[in-house]
Structure 1
């Protein structure tokens, strides 16, 4: 029987890998024309998702590409007050290491047989066991797995739920080769995550493996069309950087210097989520994993849940190789409970970030974890 996975993101790849380890073939259909067609984003905090990599037989390879020092964190107020600094000892366990999303994706891709991913296959619809793609091609399936992300087309086969804007708009910018070009800013950011939380605005800077500092400036309690009224000229990067600094009045110049140092990549992102606790009636030949099933605020759970979804669905299919409907039902029961809890926790953390006194609330959130650490201050 044919398992068709729509989407070659982390969840879809983890599913295909666990199936392969268990002697089951699957075909991934990916809309991107090639594996290198676009950038894959920044670093990921992989914690619970490490179980998926163990089930995939890739945990040692993961540890080889993970960055323990990426667990470092600095939390500040906009006036430059340092509230918390957590530095990771060199011998610390890899409990929540950071890993470049592109490196993790490459690890999963390289673990699959040649030809497992069909590139350039943009899914349009499915009916009677046949997939239809934008280029006019078709493929058959016995089980269809939607791993096609936030704007999933497969989701419509199971539920009418659609992502909704949550009042957060993010502008992504970055500083390339920061150690060479801006060593003072590199030292300020440190080796991992650098958070500045203000009243309705945050700046999150993150060190990437390639030496780039990836920066996201979030504007909370803003409308979905906020970018149209923000006065940020996205077609003029220098002017966009200047406008972003204008939108941070009273912030320490050392912090806004991060924005001034950025290159010309300026990307607007509106943040949407699916309803917490989303479920759907079981369907024998279709299921969902990852953001297609449970899109959450971007606070560190989405990639982990996607990896676990893929691995646990793969294990369920391995246990019921002749009964795909039973495997999908078993997977969905566990997934609904696990991801609902993660989505509630993510929503609670999102509320902290949107609160007027976000920096102090976040300090209270982190201190129980850090209070016993000799490296925290």
Structure 2
């Protein structure tokens, strides 16, 4: 099939098959508007898609996409459970979700949600193995030397977006936080005591400029994030943690949590050999750009925020609302983009400010008590 599939009418090129790009493609497909998603990865299964997502405002996007019923079928209401503790083991908060509770903020495996969106599209809608390199004069250029034409280019290509440079010089900057991601597979069988401690949803321990966040996944895994606050961008290089030696890395990570209740460091000791260090970056809060005919952005490409529960929701909404704007102005893409960007800037600017405030809270010396007040205001 040629790269310019669907060019009987104006063609929309979406770079990136993440949640936002796929939500846009789905809404456009529902409105019989041609769109092609170009994704650098070779298939949907080539890379793990991360852990659980807390989907709240993003449910509107799934309704607009006609997928809310299927979403509820894969969402985990029990994933709303929350346990918050201090490093010495003091339990500050335990919220257990009743079985009949509304799915206001259910958790869902990112991979399951992505598959739901992918399966809602025609097979030809996503072109795998197309790594975007550049765009000029209505032509996309890919790393393999191929090209494709477009009338509207949508950058849905994440934190390190290449499309972003067409609209702004803004680049992600480090925010003083580094994360080490761990995982315990099949925890109910392998470590039942730890499984009972973590519970069905989210398990947070905060203190001493660090936090340990454990999260139950729908496939029996528990994903663990070790967060190191007020640390430099090169902290991994200077920390002396030998990430190429999993056993030694686990031992060094346990040392980083000296003085913590041994039940918590047991989660580190029990983790698998896949240990992923990740530095956190964000785009400036309230980033905007002059509306430019022929190109726009959505999701992390447009408003990369701290990972505190807003990013995926904003990306889903971006995709759905841009799709609706294009459906309302099928013969005037520039007007549709301007309408979308005006709403998107206001909505995501507010979400980015809230996320930055919550990130600042987590960086504070009394983070656990302040987070308790956040969850239980008044």
- TM normalised by structure 2 equals 0.97
SS class of match (1:165): strand
Q: Which residue of 2 aligns with 1:133?
A: 142
Q: Which residue of 2 aligns with 1:197?
A: 206
Counterparts of 1:34 and 1:293, CA distance in 2: 24
Counterparts of 1:200 and 1:116, CA distance in 2: 45
Counterparts of 1:195 and 1:103, CA distance in 2: 24
Q: Which residue of 2 aligns with 1:359?
A: 368
1:3-28 per-position Cα deviation (integer Å, ceiling 9, x unaligned)? 00000000000000001111112000
Counterparts of 1:180 and 1:229, CA distance in 2: 37
Is 1:227 the equivalent of 2:236? yes
Is 1:41 the equivalent of 2:50? yes
Q: Which residue of 2 aligns with 1:307?
A: 316
Check whether the contact 1:68–1:97 (CA below 8 A) recurs between aligned residues.
Answer: yes
Structure 1, unaligned runs of 5 or more: 372-377
The offset of 1:195, in angstroms, is 0.2
Q: Which residue of 1 aligns with 2:277?
A: 268
Is 1:23 the equivalent of 2:23? no
Alignment map for 1:331-342 (pairs within 5 Å)? 331-342=340-351
Q: Which residue of 2 aligns with 1:83?
A: 92
Counterparts of 1:52 and 1:265, CA distance in 2: 33
1:142-191 per-position Cα deviation (integer Å, ceiling 9, x unaligned)? 00000000000000000000000000000000100000000000000000
Check whether the contact 1:204–1:215 (CA below 8 A) recurs between aligned residues.
Answer: yes
Is 1:282 the equivalent of 2:303? no
Q: Which residue of 1 aligns with 2:166?
A: 157
Alignment map for 1:181-192 (pairs within 5 Å)? 181-192=190-201
Counterparts of 1:218 and 1:181, CA distance in 2: 25
Counterparts of 2:231 and 2:206, CA distance in 1: 16
Q: Which residue of 1 aligns with 2:6?
A: none
1:298-320 per-position Cα deviation (integer Å, ceiling 9, x unaligned)? 00000000000000000000000
Check whether the contact 1:199–1:355 (CA below 8 A) recurs between aligned residues.
Answer: no
- How many residue pairs get aligned? The number is 369
Counterparts of 1:193 and 1:136, CA distance in 2: 45
RMSD: 0.6
Among 244, 248, 256, the residue aligned to 2:265: 256
Counterparts of 1:242 and 1:176, CA distance in 2: 19
Q: Which residue of 2 aligns with 1:238?
A: 247
Counterparts of 2:49 and 2:219, CA distance in 1: 13
Counterparts of 2:267 and 2:177, CA distance in 1: 21
SS class of match (1:172): strand
SS class of match (2:123): coil
1:228-266 per-position Cα deviation (integer Å, ceiling 9, x unaligned)? 011110000011011000001110001100100001010
Structure 1: 4+ residue segments shifted above 4 A? none
- TM normalised by structure 1 equals 0.97
Structure 2, unaligned runs of 5 or more: 1-9
Q: Which residue of 1 aligns with 2:256?
A: 247
Q: Which residue of 1 aligns with 2:3?
A: none
Q: Which residue of 2 aligns with 1:68?
A: 77
1:243-292 per-position Cα deviation (integer Å, ceiling 9, x unaligned)? 00000111000110010000101000000000000000110100000000
SS class of match (1:166): strand
SS class of match (1:115): helix
Check whether the contact 1:4–1:144 (CA below 8 A) recurs between aligned residues.
Answer: yes
Is 1:102 the equivalent of 2:111? yes
Counterparts of 2:183 and 2:209, CA distance in 1: 21
